[in-house]
């Protein structure tokens, strides 16, 4: 016999009775009476309008109601369905006494499963990770809250997605986005990204990828670096907005990954060819060719790229640009934090007045220009723009004939403290050779001590100058590295 059904007909209500009807009526009655039950010890007057006439009082007992729902699930009172939860391998089993009404109200997936069941028991099979948090998941459906740890988020996210509990799924997505910093040290960000891909959570995927691009060093140092997928690794290697100390550091991290995972030759070749060997000093390239087990093993896969790198370091870049396409990714720097590319700039009480600093960078990454330096002047003005937002201007101290054929891409990185860690919060790129960025730190509230951009009253900036060469040949030669 089917469960009770309520429907309208001719302005009235038709009620079809069946199995579980009396229980559902009981639960509905309990929900109604609990919400209207007035007991001073459990709650009280929450709000009263200021006006005397037509004043409205609100009495709430949500904590008392939540406790009753917890007790209902804990003791299984008047349960009309048993959830038999098994691991996929069948090694573990747990039985939860539940209520059809509560599950159906929270999940349309559960509603369909319960309508199709042939007995009072509903069998569910879950992964070991989801199995371990299933009781928390069901408890949320009764009480609307749960206490969780970082290592439980993926399993709960999978369950909320699988059973269509959108409120919990959205809450977990928000929680993970807010805790990316603390999760990076333990490597959870990598797993969260993979979870977002598998579950189709676009918001979480974008946030995780952005965090990884800007804070990849913390992930490289975590125990989870070796478990990163080859697809995600390739995604990171192909990006020019990656923030890290140097290309050499990136190669060593890739080397660690390759030695641990030993992928097929095609995957290894593709990953190694995504390294920008021109951005590694020639003395380090020589050392890698002599000492790196990975390069010795896959030398033939990258021999042409190493040859192009040595050419780049030996010839004047403008001369090289006459014969090769230097606009491809092989010749485009990433956001390197090494001293030759820029400098950290700490500004105390940034809302107070204008600040200036001087930067010294190399003319370019080519060893041919290793002795040439460029001096830059940077000015920070807290309220210089008409909209009241701060302004930053970066200009070379002097011009030089060496600048011919070079566009200097200026990047300003803003770091903040999150969960006790200093992480990259924003990255501002100046358009080609312009002197400032139009949307720098908009709505940053630097005059407020509570601004998220202030770390103990200091604004943490890192200025990077990236020389980008212009191709001078009329017909561009296609490179194995794709144009960005």
Distance CA 343, CA 351 (A): 21
Is it the case that residue 432 has pLDDT exceeding 70? no
Distances from the Cα of 141 to the Cαs of 22, 99, 134, 161, 291, in angstroms?
21, 11, 11, 14, 57
In a domain, 123, yes or no: yes
Last residue of some domain: 112, 141, 173? 173
Distance CA 220, CA 367 (A): 28
In a domain, 125, yes or no: yes
Res. 20 pLDDT band, cuts 50 70 90: very low
User: Residue 363's domain is classified under what CATH number?
Assistant: 2.60.210.10
In a domain, 275, yes or no: no
User: Residue 35's domain is classified under what CATH number?
Assistant: 3.30.710.10
Is it the case that residue 434 has pLDDT exceeding 80? no
Host H or E run for residue 27: helix 21-36
In a domain, 344, yes or no: yes
Of the listed ranges 11-25, 172-186, 239-253, the one predicted with least confidence: 11-25
Query: What is the domain extent for residue 61?
Result: 5-45+57-173
Host H or E run for residue 101: helix 100-106
List pLDDT tens digits, range 378-408.
999 887 666 667 889 998 988 877 777 788 8
CB neighbour list of residue 433: distance below 8 Å, 6 or more residues apart: 407, 408
CB neighbour list of residue 178: distance below 8 Å, 6 or more residues apart: none
Overall number of domains in the chain: 2
Res. 113 pLDDT band, cuts 50 70 90: very high
Give the mean pLDDT of the chain.
Answer: 83
Closest among 330, 275, 336 to 308, alpha carbons compared:
330
Helical pair 188-199 and 153-162, crossing angle rounded to 10 deg: 10
Specify the higher pLDDT residue, 326 or 140. 140
Hey, what's the torsion of the CAs at 248, 254, 257, 260, to 10 degrees?
-70
In a domain, 376, yes or no: yes
Phi, psi of 164 (to 5 degrees): 70, 35
In a domain, 420, yes or no: yes
In a domain, 117, yes or no: yes
């Amino acid at each position: 016999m089917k469960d009770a059904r309520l429907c309208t007909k001719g302005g009235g209500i038709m009620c079809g009775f069946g199995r579980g009807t009396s229980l559902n009526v009981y639960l509905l009655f309990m929900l109604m009476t609990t919400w209207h039950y007035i007991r001073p010890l459990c709650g009280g007057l929450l709000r009263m309008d200021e006006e005397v006439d037509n004043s409205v009082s609100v009495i709430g007992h949500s904590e008392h109601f939540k406790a009753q729902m917890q007790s209902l699930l804990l003791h299984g009172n008047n349960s009309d369905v048993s959830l038999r939860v098994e691991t996929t391998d069948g090694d573990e089993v747990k039985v939860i006494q539940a209520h059809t009404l509560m599950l159906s109200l929270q999940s349309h997936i559960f509603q369909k499963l319960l309508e199709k069941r042939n007995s009072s028991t509903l069998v569910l099979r879950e992964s070991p990770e989801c199995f371990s948090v299933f009781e928390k998941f069901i408890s949320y459906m009764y009480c609307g809250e749960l206490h969780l740890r970082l290592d439980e988020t993926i399993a709960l996210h999978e369950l909320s997605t699988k059973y269509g509990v959108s409120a919990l799924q959205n809450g977990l997505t928000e929680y993970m986005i807010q805790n990316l910093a603390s999760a990076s040290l333990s490597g959870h960000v990598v797993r969260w990204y993979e979870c977002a891909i598998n579950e189709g959570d676009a918001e979480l995927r974008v946030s995780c990828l952005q965090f990884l691009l800007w804070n990849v060093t913390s992930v490289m140092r975590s125990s989870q670096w070796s478990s990163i997928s080859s697809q995600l690794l390739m995604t990171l290697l192909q990006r020019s907005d990656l923030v890290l100390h140097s290309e050499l550091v990136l190669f060593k991290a890739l080397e660690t990954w390759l030695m641990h995972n030993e992928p097929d030759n095609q995957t290894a070749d593709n990953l190694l060819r995504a390294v920008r060997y021109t951005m590694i000093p020639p003395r380090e390239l020589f050392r890698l060719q002599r000492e790196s087990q990975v390069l010795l093993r896959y030398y033939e896969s990258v021999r042409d790229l190493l040859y192009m790198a040595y050419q780049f370091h030996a010839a004047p870049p403008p001369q090289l640009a006459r014969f090769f396409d230097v606009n491809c990714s092989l010749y485009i720097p990433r956001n390197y934090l090494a001293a030759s590319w820029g400098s950290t700039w700490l500004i105390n009480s940034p809302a107070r007045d204008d600040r200036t600093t001087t930067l010294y960078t190399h003319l370019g990454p080519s060893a041919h220009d290793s002795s040439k330096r460029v001096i830059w002047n940077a000015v920070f003005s807290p309220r210089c723009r008409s909209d009241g937002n701060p302004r930053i201007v970066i200009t070379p101290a002097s011009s030089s004939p060496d600048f011919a054929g070079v566009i200097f891409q200026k990047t300003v990185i803003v770091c903040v403290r999150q969960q006790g860690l200093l992480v990259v919060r924003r990255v501002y790129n100046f358009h080609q050779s312009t002197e400032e960025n139009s949307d720098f730190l908009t709505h940053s509230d630097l005059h407020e001590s509570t601004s998220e951009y202030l770390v103990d009253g200091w604004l943490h900036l890192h200025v990077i100058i990236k020389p980008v060469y212009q191709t001078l040949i009329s017909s561009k030669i296609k490179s194995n590295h794709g144009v960005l």
